[in-house]
Structure 1
Amino acid sequence: MADTVIVDMLENHIAEITLNRPDSLNTFTLTLASELTAALQQLDGDPAVRVIILKGAGKAFCAGIDVGDFFGKSTLEYRDWIECMETPLITISRMKKPVVAQVHGVAAANGAGLVAACDLAVAADNAKMGLTAINVGLNCVGPVVPVTRSVGRKRAMELLLYGELVKAPAALEMGLINKVVPANDLEMETRRWAAVLADKSPVAVQIAKSAFYAAADLNYDKAFAYMNEAFARLCSSEDAKEGVSAFLEKRRPTWQEK
């Protein structure tokens, strides 16, 4: 049986995770969810990796959850089932390394939630995204959590209740993704953008990401206090000293910390 998740090491300190159920549009199963979580955690702990790209094999990024084993569960079993499916979405926010979604084809339901859960997202100009589970008598109340934090309450509620797929330009306008590029250039542009990020100080990027998520749920003044503490920790790092020195000396910095 083929792995449902494939991990490749690219140049420029970039790793790539591919959802590998192309015949099923990369829909989530318990196996895929578990393998994806494990791959994310493994790469987060790898000092050679600075940025992770997440993409799908075949025609789609991810069309949600495979409901082939939907029937015959108790309420508690359904809870455990869906918690496993959504663990990767939670894992990304807890990681040190940034994760960039490379979106093509369709990203629906839990797939759209996965796009929103990624720290950044680049989409092909013909890609479509949406919280579509309402159309089969379910809902996307899990995936809507990261979607809401990306697009706001009113937009998220519309996506949740109407279940429509939105085209990439509309997803860009509402803040669900960062960039739209021609479909033929998607892989090249995603890797290029990831390489730009990987070239920055790893410790600065990692502190920025962790502080961003930690402060998101704090009160306004407490968020500033938390960020100031994070900035102070960064200022005491070797990379901060190297970065400022390189700027003043008009040279390229050599990052010290992983």
Structure 2
Amino acid sequence: METRDLDPQELQARTVRAATLVIYRRNPAGGAAQILLVERNATLNFAGGATVFPGGKVDPADRDLAATLGGEIEVTAARIAGVRETLEETGLVVGVSGPIDGGVAADARRMLLLHGKLAPVLDAFGWTLNLDQLVQFARWWPRHRAERIFDTRFFLADLGTGAVDIEVDATENRHMFWASANEALELAAAGRIRVIFPTRRNLERLALFDTFEAARDHALAFGAETISPFIAERDGKPWLMIPDGRGYPVLGEPLSTAQRT
């Protein structure tokens, strides 16, 4: 893969907008809060077999719904996509207000899978969006030459007690589990899960905090400036790096070990 940056017009043409949610729950056994992680099916073109946070592409219907709410459409649409994709992939309802229990969530998921749009689900179940529950944590948008480039916004969400059921969407994912950020990094170091470069850097950042509240406050303090990885030489070898000053404790790794897809 070439590492030369794309010109702005070509970058826009190849960019796919996406959203992902870092969903917290309190650890039932005590200790650091846990994060929901999903292992993607190995057959998928992007990040096949990798362990990631729930999420996916922003659909036109997400933008249509965002346009009715006002504000910055792309950010709102990304939040909506995160809510929709999480319900599709995991059965969890986040970012909405209204009557919700396990049975209602399961019914809503079935309806969403049938229609593919969140708006009719909101209407059918009497829900309203509460997108302030999703705190923007980061935005990753590579500039290098590739067939598809994902402009991904990361949001934090909190489930509180975490007394919830999750069910894998077998079309895209094959396994879901809860773990603290540090536990996920330990699994990766032991070779039990595979994480791509952005996921690893974000897990390292999340591992600085034991609670959702601490991670949220950190995110609000730093904002969500765009992260665009770049190649730099260190000790005579190429490294894949991210800019300093964005809240990340580790800024890169050798290009030879960095897993990009």
Indicate the TM-score class for this superposition, using the shorter chain for normalisation: under 0.3
- Of structures 1 and 2, the one with the larger relative CO (CA 8 A, separation 6+) is 2
- TM-score scaled to structure 2, two decimals? 0.27
Q: By percentage of residues, which structure has more strand?
A: 2
Which structure's residues are more often helix, by fraction? 1
Task: Give TM-score, length-normalised by structure 1.
Answer: 0.27
